[in-house]
Structure 1
Amino acid sequence: MEDILRPIYQERASQTNTLSVLIIEKRQNECTVTDTFDAILLMIVKEAETPVFIKHYIYEQKKAALHIVREDQLKEWLLLGSNRKIVEWITHGKVLFDRNEYMANLKGELRDFPFSERKLKAGLEFAKLIRRYIDGKAFFDNDQYLDAYNHVVHALHHLARLAVIENGFHPEITVWNQVKQIEPEIFKLYEELITSDESIEKRLELLFLASEFLIHSRTKVYASHLLGVMQEKERWTINELLCNPDLENYGVDLGILLEFLTEKHFINEIKVETKGPRIYHRYYEVGKKLS
Structure 2
Amino acid sequence: MNALKEQRVATLRDDDAVISILAVDNPSMFSAVTDGFDLLLLVVTDEDQRTNQQYHYIKDNCRIQERWLSISELSRLIVHGEHRNLIYWILKGEILLDKNTYLEGLRHRMLEFPPDMREHKLLIEFARFLRRYLDSKEYVLYDHLLDAYNDILEALHHWARIVIIEAGIHPEITVWRQVKNINPGVYKLYEELTLSNETLKQRVQLVLLACEFSVMSKMERCCKPLLDVLSSREEAWSLQELQQIDKLSDIQFELPLILNKLVKKSLTKEIIYTVDEQVSTFEIRYLNS
TM-score, L = length of structure 2: 0.94
CA distance in 2 between counterparts of 1:157 and 1:10 reads 42
| Aligned position for 2:45 | 45
| Aligned position for 1:262 | 263
> Does structure 1 conserve the Cα–Cα contact (< 8 Å) formed by 2:23 and 2:95?
yes
| Aligned position for 2:214 | 214
Q: Percent identity?
A: 33
| Aligned position for 1:158 | 158
| Aligned position for 2:25 | 25
CA distance in 2 between counterparts of 1:7 and 1:142 reads 60
CA distance in 2 between counterparts of 1:247 and 1:85 reads 25
> Does structure 1 conserve the Cα–Cα contact (< 8 Å) formed by 2:39 and 2:64?
yes
* Aligned CA distance change for structure 1 residues 245 and 100 (closer, same or farther; 3 Å): closer
> Does structure 2 conserve the Cα–Cα contact (< 8 Å) formed by 1:242 and 1:251?
yes
CA distance in 1 between counterparts of 2:187 and 2:10 reads 44
| Aligned position for 1:75 | 75
The equivalent position to 2:277 in structure 1, one of 269, 275, 278, is: 275
Give 1:17 shift: 2.6
Could you list the runs of 5+ residues in structure 2 that have no partner in the other structure? none
| Aligned position for 1:198 | 198
| Aligned position for 2:135 | 135
Q: How many residues align?
A: 287
Moved more, 21-30 or 229-238: 21-30
CA distance in 2 between counterparts of 1:214 and 1:171 reads 19
| Aligned position for 1:10 | 10
| Aligned position for 2:286 | 284
* Aligned CA distance change for structure 1 residues 243 and 100 (closer, same or farther; 3 Å): closer
> Does structure 1 conserve the Cα–Cα contact (< 8 Å) formed by 2:50 and 2:68?
no
CA distance in 2 between counterparts of 1:48 and 1:119 reads 26
| Aligned position for 1:231 | 231
Corresponding position: 1:246 with 2:247: yes
Give 1:61 shift: 4.4
* Aligned CA distance change for structure 1 residues 33 and 119 (closer, same or farther; 3 Å): same
Give 1:5 shift: 3.9
SS at match of 2:53: strand
CA distance in 1 between counterparts of 2:48 and 2:221 reads 38
SS at match of 1:31: coil
Give 1:54 shift: 1.0
Give 1:14 shift: 3.1
> Does structure 2 conserve the Cα–Cα contact (< 8 Å) formed by 1:13 and 1:21?
no
> Does structure 2 conserve the Cα–Cα contact (< 8 Å) formed by 1:226 and 1:247?
yes
* Aligned CA distance change for structure 1 residues 30 and 181 (closer, same or farther; 3 Å): farther
Give 1:281 shift: 1.7
Give 1:62 shift: 3.8
Query: Runs in 1 of length 4+ with deviation above 6 angstroms?
Result: none
Q: Which amino acid aligns with 2:169?
A: F
1:234-272 deviation line (CA, Å, top 9, x unaligned): 311111111222211112111111111111111111222
Could you list the runs of 5+ residues in structure 1 that have no partner in the other structure? none
Q: Which amino acid aligns with 2:248?
A: L
Q: Superposition RMSD on alpha carbons, in Å?
A: 1.6
| Aligned position for 2:181 | 181
Moved more, 142-151 or 212-221: 212-221
Give 1:60 shift: 5.0
> Does structure 1 conserve the Cα–Cα contact (< 8 Å) formed by 2:24 and 2:92?
yes
TM-score, L = length of structure 1: 0.93
